[in-house]
Structure 1
Amino acid sequence: MTTQKKNLKVEFYILTGMSGAGKTFANKCLEDMGFYCVDNLPPALIPHFAELAANSSRKIDRVSLVIDIRGGEFFDELFKALDALDRAAYSYKIIYLDANDSALLRRYKETRRLPPLANDETTIIEGVHAERKALKRLKDRADYYIDTSTKTPAALKKEISKAILGDEQSAGLSVTIISFGFKYGLPPEADVALDVRFLPNPYYEESLKNFSGENREVREFVMTSQVTQDYISKTADLLLFTLPHVIAEGRRNLVVAVGCTGGHHRSVVLSIELCRILTQHGYNVSVKHRDISAG
Structure 2
Amino acid sequence: MGFETAAYEGESANDFVIVTGMSGAGRTEAMHAFEDLGYFCIDNLPANLIPQLLSTARGACEKARKLAVVCDARNKDFFADLKGELEGLSAAGVAYRVVFLDADDDKLVARYKASRRRHPMCEEGMTIAQGIAAERALLFSLRNMAHDVIDTSELLPMQLRTKIRDLFAGVDEREGLAVTVYSFGFKHGAPLDADMVMDVRFLPNPYYDPALRPLTGLDAPVRDFVMYRDETVEFLKRWRELLDVVMPGYVKEGKQQLAIAVGCTGGQHRSVALAESTGDYLKTRGYRVSVSHRDLALAESVRSALDGKAE
- Structures share fold, TM-score greater than 0.5: yes
Structure-to-structure mapping, 1:124-163, within 5 angstroms: 124-163=128-167
| Cα distance in 1, alignment partners of residues 176 and 271 from structure 2 | 26
Alignment partner of 1:193 is 2:162 = no
Distance 1:168 1:130, change over 3 A: same
Q: Are 1:74 and 2:79 matched, yes or no?
A: yes
Relative distance call for 1:178 and 1:89 in structure 2 (3 A) is farther
Taking structure 1 as the reference length, what is the TM-score of the superposition?
Answer: 0.81
Question: Which digits, 9 at most, give the CA deviation of each residue in 1:126-180, with x for residues without a partner?
Answer: 4433433432332233233221111112222222222221441312122221223
Q: Which has the larger radius of gyration?
A: 2
Whether contact under 8 Å (2:8, 2:54) holds in the other structure is no
Q: Residue type of the partner of 1:193?
A: V
Matched, 1:267 2:271: yes
Query: Greater helix share, 1 or 2?
Result: 2
Normalised to the residue count of structure 2, the TM-score between the two structures is 0.78
**Equivalent position amino acid for 1:67 in 2:** C
**Which range moved further: 92-101 or 219-228?**
219-228
> How far does residue 80 in structure 1 lie from its aligned partner after superposition?
3.4
2:176 alignment partner, SS class:
coil
**2:42 is the alignment partner of 1:38:** yes
What letter matches 1:21 in structure 2? Answer: A
Q: Indicate if the aligned counterparts of 2:47 and 2:78 stay in contact, CA closer than 8 A.
A: no
Structure 1 residues 204-219: aligned runs within 5 Å: 204-219=208-223
Could you report, residue by residue, the CA deviation over 1:51-91 in whole angstroms, capped at 9, with x for unpaired residues?
Answer: 2333347x98333211112446634x213333454566655
1:12-51 matched pairs, under 5 angstroms: 12-51=16-55
Spell out, residue by residue over 1:246-277, the C-alpha distance to the aligned partner (whole angstroms, 9 max, x if none).
33444433222222223221112211221222
Asked whether the equivalents of residues 34 and 252 of structure 1 are also in contact (C-alpha less than 8 Å), the reply is no
Considering only aligned residues, what root-mean-square deviation do their CA atoms show, in Å? 3.2
Identity among equivalent positions (%) equals: 41
Counterpart amino acid of residue 240 in structure 1: D
Q: Is the 8 A contact 2:37 2:169 kept in 1?
A: no
The one-letter code sitting in structure 2 at the alignment partner of 1:241 is V
Do the aligned partners of residues 226 and 98 (structure 1) sit closer, same or farther apart at CA in structure 2, a change above 3 Å counting?
Answer: farther
1:10-66 superposed Cα distances (whole Å, 9 cap, x missing partner)? 933212111110112222333344433222111001111222333347x98333211
Give unmatched runs, 5+ long, in structure 1: 1-5
Find the aligned partners of 1:65 and 1:143 in 2 and give their Cα distance. Answer: 15
